[in-house]
Structure 1
């Protein structure tokens, strides 16, 4: 298992107004699966290409197990990258594609054939060895690309948007396969994606990149419940932001004093809570009077806009619960203390 450490990694393309990757410092624990998440153009793929050695950084360092690899050519880093568009050789069979890297290393034909057969079974493609890539579905092609990487037994595996070209059912299937294979092999793995749900299901930790800068790295649950700032909260679907001050365990704002969880930041800040954490009813701590302003059906949930005095609150509720709320009449809602968090004020 290999530790990957990025230290103040920066890539500034000539003529670009700002760095594509700006001072990125990130550690990937040995044997972990980490996702770099962010919108298009935030520096995700550039970061991956820097680690693989396909690009040279403007500054900073890349270390594997504490040793810099900046002077090490890509083929000697022990890092393998699976590209978004597979890059399979159309004139080769599935088996030939998978064994290509071993043949380039000069491995004996018998060893290559045996390892190819083993990895085909691992990616659930037994019986597909003689087929050409054009005879495969998109999901099968992605499995071949993954097998071609895994057969090399890399120190580090890089997956660039591995599920983006698949339909919903295939994405779920491939997601489970990637996760299972990573756990089985223990290869330190980095996945690049713009899909929040994909990142949260796959990864042990998520590194959120916005405009080339690392905004927060944490477990999926922490990013949802304890975002570092409003930009992180909004990226993960945050919708409620209320200005006020945190002191003596309570947040004071236009909503009145609300009890906070232990460890909440103190001082001027912005109270946030996720729409799905709003509870209907209650008369105790953190109970408020609210009126329905609008409802919107979203399938498994309904988004309800509430007015609590001068404050607008967004709530996500089961459709039946949303439909049962009174029109133009006040009712009680509760904001559980554990659901509240205080973000730093916007400067």
Structure 2
């Protein structure tokens, strides 16, 4: 019965996936047809059109406004600034504080807990109680994975370590900022920073075919599809799947829309810990070491730059420590990493 039961469950799972695939593709085909057939609702060929900034999200017809704002780059520290001399000790301090906080949270919860992984089905997301080498000592937000990271985690690791995707709009904005398809030559595949440069190259007809696939990235047509608002009946997880279908049309739907591996869980937990504790932890360290000048108004930009550096360095340390250890729980690994510091 065990083998038969497993076969039945697998069959049901495949049927659900097939149903979701058909539903999503039919939805996207209808939406694409509506885009091309209704000129009053179609988007201009250039996606960076202006939107009145004081309009609420609910009054907009689409999400094109997300692509009008370039990503904000954090300020940089001067190489000779005194913060540069202590960034590594601060990184270790923050890492220890986080790991100790996590262990203390585990103790308050009575030890082992279960992690809920979110798996999609045809009409809802199922919360399956299952051990995934992770406990959840810190209440975390719903984090979404970048579709490119799901498709190729090794190539797109920064989509885990350098962004924090907690809403559907975050995913769309990230895709535009990080995965936009650069102008390229369809013959040789060379990419260019501007359309003008690519047009000049193409008109010269001086290159030879290289037999390489189209460069990876989101085209303007795909961004126009992504800009369309989802139907009211669609859950956020189905919206994520619709994004996947636009980004990778025809590709098999993934099982999970959320980060689920041990290393992904610990990174997401730290991002939430950092949002609520980061500034205080940095301030505590600077005060303990006698850096009173950090409170001066002219040091604010340098302090912001320091926080950005520490955030990246701690996440990189966590990935290095947890990436290749999926055989133990996060709590067990946390204790090992803490003991090594």
TM range (shorter): under 0.3
> What is the TM-score with the length of structure 2 in the denominator?
0.19
Q: Identify the structure with the greater strand proportion.
A: 1
Q: Whose RCO is larger (CA < 8 A, sep 6+)?
A: 2
> What is the TM-score with the length of structure 1 in the denominator?
0.19
Computing the radius of gyration over CA atoms, which structure comes out larger, 1 or 2?
Answer: 1
